[in-house]
Amino acid sequence: MAQHSALIERLPTEIFHQIFGYVDAETILLSIRRVCRQWMASINTYNRYELNINSISKQNLALICRLIQPENVLSLTFADNNQQAAQIDLFLSLVDTQRLIRLRSLIFLGIDDIQFHAFINTLKLDSLQTFAIKLLKYDRRRLRTT
């Protein structure tokens, strides 16, 4: 069995990166990363993360935000659920959103306009290709201020 383990460890980083494309960020960073040093090194150079913030627990989100380089995030999704406000606030407190320079997809499904503006005003959207938003509530008084 040790021989098979050695064989997999000799795979090129590019192969690991192809595999990571089929695995969620939480699994990559919190499980696979711990397997061996080479896998950790491969993960440290991986630059195509797609994060669905609401599928990640608060505790794991905090850890992921410390491990991941914002420049390596291509997609962010905030989906409609009861924890969304807290998840967005936590994400904003832990991530320098100005470093999300390769963000191609940004999806908000169920967000209020205040949270949306707090988040969107910090981003550089040069590489954005996909954007979707579903507002939960909108304060019309903001029309005069934005």
Q: Express each pLDDT in 46-99 by its tens digit.
A: 999 999 998 899 999 999 999 999 999 999 998 766 666 678 888 989 999 999
Cα distance between the two ends of the chain: 62
SS3 (DSSP) at 121: coil
For 141, how many CA atoms within 13 A lie in the half-sphere containing its CB?
Answer: 1
Q: Report the pLDDT averaged over residues 93-107.
A: 93
What is the residue extent of each domain of the chain? 1-46, 49-146
Angle (deg, nearest 10), helices 37-45 and 13-20? 70
What is the per-residue pLDDT across 2-56, written as a single tens digit (0 to 9) for each? 555 567 777 888 999 999 999 999 999 999 999 888 889 899 999 999 999 988 9
Asked if the model's pLDDT at residue 139 lies above 70, the reply is: no
- What was the pLDDT predicted at 4? 54
For residue 49, give the H/E element and its range: strand 49-52
DSSP character at residue 60: H
Task: Say which DSSP state 106 is in.
Answer: E
**DSSP symbol at 93:** H
The pair of three-digit structure tokens given for residue 73, joined into one six-digit string: 């995030």
